[in-house]
Each structure stands twice: as C-alpha cells, then as structure tokens.
Amino acid sequence: MPDVKTERVLVVPTELFHRLGYFQGFSGEVDRYLGELLSPRHTSYRPREQVEGDPGFKQLIPYVIFRHTDDQGRETIFQYTRGTGQGEGRLHRKRSVGIGGHISAGDAQPNAERSPYEEGMRRELKEEVVIDTPYTARCVGLINDDQTEVGSVHLGVVYIFDVERPAVRPNETEIIQSGFRPVEEILADLTGFETWSEICIRALFGSS
C-alpha cells in the first residue's frame, strides 16, 4: 500500500461533477457520469496528502459490494470492520460493506490492456480480499456525501459482485470481523457503519 505522504491519486475537478449533475447520496445513473469522470481529458494525479483537504477535487474510489444469494433466495452481503492500520484514519473502526480504494499514479502502466482505473480497482481488490469463487460484476451507481469531511473529497463508484459461493475472505490484517451477513439483519442495525455503506445499503437493498 503506497504511503499517503508520497502517493499521487486519481482525481477529477469537483466542478465537473457539479456540471454533470450534482447529487447528495446515491445515484444509479451510471451512464450519465462515468464516461466523463474517467475521461483522460478530465482526470489527473495529485498528491493525496494535498487533495485530502481540498474539496475542489474529488478522488474517485471504486467501492465493491459482494453479494451472495443462498438456496432459499436470501441475500447476504460481505461486511467487515476497518482496523486502525488502514490509510484513511477517519474511517478507522467503522463497519463497511465496500471493498476498494484510491487509484494511484502507479496504476498507469505503459501499454497496459486495461485503463489505470481498471488496473487500480483490480489491485485494490487483490490487496484487500481473496475471492475464491466465480462471480459476475456490474457497476450500479455512484455515491457522493458532502455532509462528512471524508465524503466531501471523494466520489464512490459502486459495484455489485454477485458471487456463486460466499467464499470471500480478508487478505490483510486490517479487515477484521468479516463475513457474509443477511441483508435484513444489516438493514435492521446500521449502527457503526461508515456513511457510504449506509447510503448504499439503503439505496440498493432497502424497501422502496
């Protein structure tokens, strides 16, 4: 994991996000935002230590939710608690349903088959978890939360990975108290979950 003091991360101007259509919370309009947000015309890599305090930029963060549907048709989601050794101190000890992290300048490899964003997403997943099951993946929306300090400088890109078996486990020691849990149990008690997780759970799995 790169050092926060030296890492350069992928960002877009917050003004671009506002121009495309500002929202607070969750938006399922992936096609409206993602192409422009990931266009090289708008992205740049800036020192993470600098942009963590600059709301003029949004750091783009892939946020992957693992879902398993059991033989009875019951939805379960992979959830965990963040340890105190992960890079974002403002999220320490928070519960989460999202796996992912910053896209770094090092993810931009010459002649790579995938974009730096895709490379960074794959790297983050590999660093954080072991996925020992086939799955299907799709992008389902974006999260913006300007009501919190950490949310004001990040923009989440949300994915659901539907796994054939609940065979996802931590690959680092700072992901603790993890495992698949029924959606209805999580919805019934969101105490201790980070804001992005609360937003996602309610938007994607809550009653309409």
Q: What is the pLDDT of residue 87?
A: 52
Residue 26: exposure state from Cβ atoms within 10 A (0-12, 13-18, ≥19):
buried
- Whole-model pTM: value is 0.91
Given this model, what pLDDT does residue 2 score?
A: 53
Task: Place domain 8-205 in its CATH homologous superfamily.
Answer: Nucleoside Triphosphate Pyrophosphohydrolase (3.90.79.10)
User: CA angle 137-140-145, nearest 5°?
Assistant: 130
| Interval 27-42: pLDDT, tens | 999 999 999 999 999 9
pLDDT of residue 3: 53
pLDDT at 112: 72
Q: How far apart are CA 190 and CA 200, in angstroms?
A: 11
In which band, very low, low, confident or very high, does the pLDDT at 84 lie, cut at 50, 70 and 90? low
Alpha-helical regions (H) of the chain: 14-21, 30-37, 48-51, 116-128, 183-188, 195-205
Polymer length in residues for the chain: 208
Q: Are strands 154-163 and 57-69 parallel, antiparallel or unpaired?
A: parallel
Which of residues 109 and 32 earns the better pLDDT score? 32
Mean of all residue pLDDT scores within the chain? 91
SS3 58: strand
Is pLDDT above 50 for 14?
Answer: yes
* Per-residue model confidence (pLDDT) at position 88: 47
Residue 168: its H or E element: strand 168-170
Q: Which two tokens stand for residue 194?
A: 């980070």
Lowest mean pLDDT among 89-98, 133-142, 182-191, 195-204: 89-98
Residues above pLDDT 90, as percent of the chain? 80
Q: What is the mean pLDDT of residues 78-102?
A: 76
Query: Given a cut of 60, is residue 107 above it in pLDDT?
Result: yes
